[in-house]
Amino acid sequence: MVLFVLTLPVVMGLVGLAVDGTILYVVEAKLSSSVDGAALGAGRLVGTDANPSEIAGEFLQANYPPAYWGSSNLQSSTTATVSSGLTTVTVNASVQVPLIFMRMFNVNTATVYGNAVATRRTARVVLVLDRSGSMNTTDPVSGLNVFNEMQQGAESFTGMFTTGYDELGLVALSASAIVAYPETRPYNPSPTSPGGPDTAFGTSATSGPMITQIQTLQAGGGTGTPEALSLAYIELQKAHNRDYAANGGVDNAQNIIVLFTDGVPDSLAVSPNNPSNNALSPSSPCQYNPGGGSSSIMTGTIVTPGNAGSWNPPAGLFLLSAYDSTHTLAWWLQNPGNGRVGTGDLIQSSPATALLNCAGLDSSGSNYRTWSDLASIPSSDYYGTSTNGSAYTLASLDLQNGTSSQPYAGVTYDPTNLSSGTNTAIACWNAMDNVGNIIRAQSSMPPVTIYTIGYSGDGGTDASLLTRLANTQGSSSYNSLQSTGMYIQVNSAADLGPAFAAIAGQVLRLAK
C-alpha cells in the first residue's frame, strides 16, 4: 500500500486554489451578466443615432460595480455589424482580480474575461386595424370609447419601433380593406410592385406619417378581414422583394402581421364573373357573363349584415376601396362606410358598365339583395383564397358576459343557398382561416408570424378563429412546422393599450 503524505505548503496551495478559484468564479459570473446587459442594451438602440460602443460602456459601468471583489482595470470593446436586416452586437470585457493565497507562489492577479453577442433583426410589421362600425362604441366595462383606445394603442405600438431600421406598414379594414401606409394609389397587388412596409414610418416615437394615418381613421362599415390579411401579405412580399434585391439576395427581416378586430368577418372581396371562377348563373342576363362570351371582370365586396347566428341576407357588390381611382386615400380613411356606388365604379377594366343588366348585384339599385344573377357564392375570393372548408363548425364566440356559443355548430355550408346570410358569413370565415394558413405556410421569404388581438366587449369575438390565425399551441389547427404567434383577448377597452404593448415587446425581444 502506498501512502501519500501532503505537506503543509501543498495543503495551503490547494486551499489557496479553492479560495481564489471561488473569487474568480464569482467575478466572472458578475462580469458575464454585466456584459450580457451591455450587449442587449446596445442592441435595443440599433438603428438610432446612439453609438453602440458608448451605450455598451454605459450599461457595463452601471451593471458592474466599481472594485467588485477588489477588481480593477475594467476594459471593454464593442463592435456592431449590419448585414441584410440582421445586426450583431458583440461586447468583450476584461478585469483584473487580485488573488489572496496564490500570492505565496508569486501570482498576484488574474484576468477574467467576458463576452456576449446580441442579435437584432429588422422587424417588418404590417399592422391591420379593424375600423368597422361596431368599433365606435362605449366599452361597458371601462366607459371608454373603443375606437379611440384602439387608435391610441396602435399609435403607441408604432412608436415602440425604430425609425430608419424597422419597417412598418398599415392596413385598415371595414367592408373592404385599404393600405393606409405607405400610401400607394392606385393600389398595385403585384408582390413585385413598389410599396410594402418601410423605415420612414415615423419621425419620433409620437409622430410621423403612419401615426398620422392612424389618427385620421374613422369607423364605419363591415368587417372585411380576409381581404385585409391578403393585402398585408402582399405588402410583406413587396418589402421582401425590395430588400432581397437591394441586399444581393439576402433578407433576414422577421415578417409580422398584427391583427386587431372586434368581431367576426362579414365581408368578402370577389370577382363573381371571373372566367376561372365564374359564379354567375348560366341564365343570368348580365352582359358580361362569361357564358355569353365576355370576360370583363366585375369586382366588389359582398357584405353580410347582422351578427353571428343571426345574419341578414347578403347585400350586393360594394366598391373595393383599395382599387378605387375616383377617391383619394384620405377620403377613404375618413369615409369607411361608403362604397354603395353606381355600376360604373365597380370595374377595373373597360368597359365601365360591367354590371349592365345585373340588377341582383348592383348595390346602387333596388334589387341588390335578390342575388338572382348568382348561381353560388364564388369558390374563391378576389385574391384566389378558397371560401370552402369545414373548420367553421369549431367557431366559438367569447361573449361579453363570459359565456360562449358555437354559431355554426351543426350548420352545413351551402354556397348555392344565397337567401341565407349564414352561408355568406361562413364563406368569409373560411376565407379568413384559409388565407391565414397560406400566409404561415409560404416559403418564398422568411416565415411570417401572425399576432391577434380580439376585443370581446361589444358582443363577442371569435377566439377559435383568432387562435387558429395566430397558430397558438392551444388552437384547433396548431401546426408545429409554422410560426407560432400570440392571441390576446381584451375584455375592456382600457386593456387595449397594454395588449398592443405586449405584442410589440414580443416582436422586439432580442435573440442571443
Is there a single domain that holds both residue 88 and residue 146?
no
Does residue 134 belong to any structural domain of this protein?
yes
Give the domain range for residue 39.
8-121
Indicate the DSSP class of residue 385: -
- The pLDDT of residue 119: 80
Distances (CA, A) of 111 to 58, 99, 108, 256, 317: 21, 10, 11, 44, 75
Which residues in the chain come in under a pLDDT of 50? 1-6, 8, 11, 341-352, 511-512
Does residue 35 belong to any structural domain of this protein?
yes
Is there a single domain that holds both residue 253 and residue 107?
no
Domain limit, last residue, from 65, 98, 121: 121
List residues bridging with 235 in a β-sheet.
Answer: none
Cα 13 to chain centroid, rounded: 61
What is the signed CA dihedral for 29, 33, 36, 42, rounded to 10 degrees?
A: -140
- The pLDDT of residue 366: 61
- Provide the greatest CA pair distance for the chain: 112
Domain limit, last residue, from 121, 156, 188: 121
Phi, psi of 120, deg, nearest 5 = -130, 115
Cα–Cα distance, 210 to 329 (Å, whole number): 13
The continuous run of DSSP H or E covering 368 comes out as none
Is there a single domain that holds both residue 106 and residue 134?
no
Instruction: Note the pTM of the prediction, 2 decimals.
Output: 0.85
Does residue 157 belong to any structural domain of this protein?
yes
Does residue 326 belong to any structural domain of this protein?
no
- The pLDDT of residue 181: 98
Summarize pLDDT for 132-159 with one digit per residue, the tens. 999 999 999 999 999 999 999 999 999 9
Is there a single domain that holds both residue 39 and residue 115?
yes
Does residue 289 belong to any structural domain of this protein?
no
- The pLDDT of residue 292: 59
Strand order of the β-sheet with 167-173 is 177-181, 167-173, 123-130, 254-261, 448-455, 486-490
Cα–Cα distance, 444 to 234 (Å, whole number): 12
Q: Which residues contact 455 (CB under 8 A, 6 or more apart)?
A: 146, 150, 260, 261, 262, 461, 490, 491, 493, 496
Summarize pLDDT for 235-249 with one digit per residue, the tens. 999 999 999 999 999
Cell of 214: 392612424
Does residue 205 belong to any structural domain of this protein?
yes
Which pairs with CB-CB distance under 8 Å and at least 24 residues apart come from 486-490? Answer: 486/451, 486/452, 487/451, 487/452, 487/453, 487/454, 487/463, 488/451, 488/452, 488/453, 488/454, 489/398, 489/453, 489/454, 489/456, 489/461, 489/463, 490/453, 490/454, 490/455, 490/456, 490/457
Is there a single domain that holds both residue 153 and residue 105?
no
Domain limit, last residue, from 74, 100, 121: 121
> For the chain, what is the domain count?
2
The continuous run of DSSP H or E covering 25 comes out as helix 8-44
Helix (H, G, I), strand (E, B) or coil at 369: coil
Report the CATH number that the domain containing residue 196 is assigned in CATH.
Answer: 3.40.50.410
The continuous run of DSSP H or E covering 80 comes out as strand 72-83
- The pLDDT of residue 304: 86
Closest CA to 58 of 80, 74, 82, 69: 74
Is there a single domain that holds both residue 89 and residue 136?
no
Does residue 368 belong to any structural domain of this protein?
no
Cα–Cα distance, 30 to 70 (Å, whole number): 13
Is there a single domain that holds both residue 176 and residue 258?
yes
Closest CA to 166 of 99, 96, 258: 258
Is there a single domain that holds both residue 100 and residue 155?
no
- The pLDDT of residue 436: 98
Is there a single domain that holds both residue 255 and residue 186?
yes
Cα–Cα distance, 354 to 346 (Å, whole number): 7
The continuous run of DSSP H or E covering 154 comes out as helix 146-159
Does residue 388 belong to any structural domain of this protein?
no
Is there a single domain that holds both residue 28 and residue 176?
no
Is there a single domain that holds both residue 409 and residue 260?
yes
List residues bridging with 447 in a β-sheet.
Answer: none
Is there a single domain that holds both residue 56 and residue 80?
yes
